[in-house]
Amino acid sequence: MLIRIGHELIFDLKEPVAMSLLLDVHPERAGDVVAYQQIIEPHIETRRFTDGFGNICTRLQAPAGKVRFWADGIVRDSGEPDAVFPDAAQHPVSELPDECLQFLLNSRYCEVDKLVPLAWDLFGETPEGWPRVQAICDWVHQKVTFGYPFARATKSAADVIIERMGVCRDFAHTATTLCRCMNIPARYTTGYLGDIGVPRSPNPMDFSGWFEVYLGGKWHTMDARHNKRRIGRIVMARGRDATDCALTTSYGSAPLVGFRVWTHEVGEEALKEFE
């Protein structure tokens, strides 16, 4: 399967602003990218590096005026839905790899210390491992109402538990936090997720947020927002929460005045556009 991905973000800056971007496809999918173009207008000198979570980060000093970040590409995908491993076991904390420990701790949007009592009250009797994570996804999916008007940059998992409303990142933060409360390493993930194999959403396309858990010696994709196995996820960034995965970070005022995202299945003929 071929999936066309892309984005256009336009900022209107009153003065020069330093920015960092996580707008590239994650390096783990680099081999699947069969065509890709990027444009920054006006031309700006950039510097790229790999951050501590393995994401490709771009730094730049944006000038005053309108600045446009545009990309368009095609990624080859298996076309298979997210894998299911119902027998994936939970590791005792003492046996977890060192790098997993940070994904058990508090982070800006994931207040583990606040939610431990609730998590153990809700899920303490569920079977460990995959069934426990699925129970957490079921609970968040059932208890939280999705809606774009419910978005708030400062909303944390504890806020979502109280308000019971949010967007995809709020579903992911809440499920991530509840998993960490149960000593299951969980990390936030963001990227492209189109309406492939499901009814098309009438809402404009957006980037999506989901999460991953470490069970049975590997990381697994989970999604409390949709709570079903989906086709065509293309990861852009991972981290402790949305702070680490912000696709654009502005170190000063940077009003966003234009925003488009696209991700959909295409045929081989689409490759001709990139020749």
Using the CB atoms, write b or e for 112-133: b if 16+ within 10 Å.
Answer: beebbeebeebbeeeebbbebb
150 and 235 both lie in a single domain: yes
Give the pTM: 0.96
Query: Which tokens go with 124?
Result: 């303490």
DSSP annotation of 106 = -
197 and 259 both lie in a single domain: no
Rounded to 10°, the helix 130-143/168-181 angle is 140
pLDDT surpasses 90 at 49:
yes
Number of Cβ within a 10 Å radius of residue 138:
13
> What strand order describes the sheet that includes 46-50?
46-50, 56-62, 17-21, 248-250
Q: Tens digit of pLDDT for each residue in 62-77? A: 999 999 999 999 999 9
What CATH number does residue 185 fall under? 3.10.620.30
Q: What percent of the chain has pLDDT over 70?
A: 100
Which domain range does residue 42 map to?
Answer: 2-79+247-265
pLDDT surpasses 90 at 275:
no
How high is the pLDDT of residue 126?
A: 98
221 and 140 both lie in a single domain: yes
Q: How confident is the model at residue 101 (pLDDT cuts 50, 70, 90)?
A: very high
104 and 222 both lie in a single domain: yes
Q: Tens digit of pLDDT for each residue in 148-189? A: 999 999 999 999 999 999 999 999 999 999 999 999 999 999
